[in-house]
Structure 1
Amino acid sequence: MSVVRLVIEYDGTQYVGWQIQPNGLAVQQVVEDALARICGVRHRLVSSGRTDAGVHARGMVAHFVTDKLLPMRAYRDGVNRHLPADIAVRDAALACDDFHARYSARSKWYRYSIYRAAVRSPMACRFSWQVRGRLDVQAMREAAELFVGRHDFSAFRASGCAARTTVRELFSVDLVEEDPLLQVDVRGEGFLRNMVRIMVGTLVEVGLGSRSPCEIEDMLSAGGRDRAGVTAPPQGLCLMAVDYAGQDVFPGQKCLDMSETFR
């Protein structure tokens, strides 16, 4: 038996998320269908995590186990011939026998894109959240720094989150200005459902002046969802990369970098 690792990029706009579910078409289902056409049998993909409806990925990692190994180009180029334009296998590689897309992961990198402009952009609307008011980026940076470290993120998870523990460690929360975009890069060992989106919604409220940076500490201590800010819309969020033993997949790649388009 062989373990094959895939790195998958997708525009999540038209999908109910990564994971197969009964209420609509999922990215996982589309990729498994295309893989079956190449392999002749159906393989179940095990992913590094899941993304919600409308969320994108630049580096979703998934693996499957097979007893009939094909050339790696078949799992990339061959599968891509059967995928729609909004999904692509970026890389396929033979992994070690004990590799697991989820359990072998050391950390994940998410990027949230905020479009700062008074007039909407048809080009940006699929991949960013338009915020019309002026944002105090320095205040947002002060607030973002308080998320770094190991905390109980109960206040920053969706009501339907089934995680056994709400304690997570974040390694960094960086704000990068690429006018008119403001990118919020979050790296951590793992995330609760909607955690990054609620963090970003809270940071935007800080940037608009309706909250102070120091309130983040109170939210983390109190733990109630009603203490944190709004949930930012899904289209601004992208899974950039998953880290395995110190190596990003893909390393050095940018996700949906549209900054040049709007200059």
Structure 2
Amino acid sequence: MKRNVKIVLEYDGGRYKGWQRLDSNDTIQGKLEDIVLKMTGNKTGIIGSGRTDSGVHARGQVANFIIDTDMKENEIKDYFNAYLPQDIAVKEVAFEKENFHSRHDAKEKTYVYYIYNNQVNSVFDRKFSLHVPEALDIEAIRKALPLFEGTHDFLGFSSLRKSKKITVRTINSLTMEKDGPRIKFVFKGDGFLYNTIRIIMGTILEIGTKKRKVSSIEEVFKTKTREKAGYTVPPHGLFLEEVKY
């Protein structure tokens, strides 16, 4: 029986070259497709809700694929987890309607970026948060966050070159939660351009360390010039947290 299988998975992206399958077998998509081949005997493409970059993690990545199977949902989940490495896990499996598409049907994606703001880095947080030893101007950061919300052309806050692709996106909310030295930035939006979250985070941190003014954000939106935005923070603090449909 033909089934459109939706999976929700989490992974530590530290040792992978991102989501998208490459010739080498060190991508998330590649690992999953190899297991589906073993499970069904057929080569099957797996569609992800989005392509996380090399070194980026996920707690709620969503993907789907179509196979001919009589297996039950829990049997498919158990099969995946029996063969996946310990840094990838399938948390949920559900049969969806024939036309469900994990990328096209996504309504909102939530990404989280973690900062560890202390002179000495945490032994336990170091793999999953960016160490920022300098003192941060939290009030300046709070003033900056709402300027990214709403519908804008994010070309200047991306690594894309000028192209015919539509670069307008909507950030529904950008919030900060502080718990001692741990700072969590939560991005909710309809989608994000290549490296946008990491460039926005670099811009926010430059504002927080007084290397740039809050007013510079509007200039980037106006000029659409990448060089006027902040640096690109490393990937290890970034998580795809949730995808809503």
Q: Provide the TM-score with structure 1 as the length reference.
A: 0.89
d(CA) in 1 for partners of 2:151 and 2:21? 31
SS of the residue 1:146 aligns to: helix
d(CA) in 2 for partners of 1:23 and 1:140? 40
Give the superposition deviation at 1:77: 1.4
Q: Which amino acid aligns with 1:2?
A: R
SS of the residue 1:192 aligns to: coil
Give the superposition deviation at 1:161: 8.6
Q: How does 1:119-198 map to 2 (within 5 A)?
A: 119-159=120-160, 164-198=165-199
Q: Choose 5-14 or 208-217, whichever is displaced more.
A: 208-217
Q: Choose 14-23 or 143-152, whichever is displaced more.
A: 14-23
The equivalent residue for 2:218 is 217
SS of the residue 1:76 aligns to: helix
The equivalent residue for 1:101 is 102
The answer as to whether partners of 2:40 and 2:67 remain within 8 angstroms in 1 is no
d(CA) in 1 for partners of 2:168 and 2:185? 21
Give the superposition deviation at 1:206: 0.6
Give the superposition deviation at 1:141: 1.6
The equivalent residue for 1:25 is 26
Q: How does 1:26-105 map to 2 (within 5 A)?
A: 26-105=27-106
- The percent identity for this pair of structures is 39
d(CA) in 2 for partners of 1:163 and 1:82? 41
> Structure 1 stretches of 5 or more lacking a match?
245-263
Give the superposition deviation at 1:39: 2.7
SS of the residue 2:171 aligns to: strand
Q: Choose 20-29 or 61-70, whichever is displaced more.
A: 20-29
Q: Choose 142-151 or 132-141, whichever is displaced more.
A: 132-141
After superposition, the C-alpha distances for 1:216-249 in whole angstroms (9 at most, x for unaligned) are 11111111000000001000000000010xxxxx
Q: Provide the TM-score with structure 2 as the length reference.
A: 0.95
SS of the residue 1:139 aligns to: helix
After superposition, the C-alpha distances for 1:154-175 in whole angstroms (9 at most, x for unaligned) are 1111146978111111100000
d(CA) in 2 for partners of 1:162 and 1:75? 41
SS of the residue 1:81 aligns to: helix
The answer as to whether partners of 1:161 and 1:192 remain within 8 angstroms in 2 is no
d(CA) in 2 for partners of 1:103 and 1:163? 19
> Structure 2 stretches of 5 or more lacking a match?
none
The answer as to whether partners of 1:38 and 1:74 remain within 8 angstroms in 2 is no
d(CA) in 2 for partners of 1:30 and 1:122? 29
The equivalent residue for 1:259 is none
SS of the residue 1:126 aligns to: coil
d(CA) in 2 for partners of 1:84 and 1:125? 22
The equivalent residue for 2:233 is 232
Give the superposition deviation at 1:23: 5.8
Judged with a 3 Å threshold, the aligned counterparts in structure 2 of structure 1 residues 122 and 23 are, in CA distance, closer, same or farther, namely farther
Q: Work out whether 1:10 is the aligned partner of 2:20.
A: no
Aligned pairs, number = 244
Give the superposition deviation at 1:145: 0.5
d(CA) in 2 for partners of 1:219 and 1:105? 28
Q: Choose 120-129 or 227-236, whichever is displaced more.
A: 120-129
* Two-structure CA RMSD over aligned residues (Å): 1.5
The equivalent residue for 1:252 is none
After superposition, the C-alpha distances for 1:98-150 in whole angstroms (9 at most, x for unaligned) are 11000000110000001111112232121111001011122112111000000
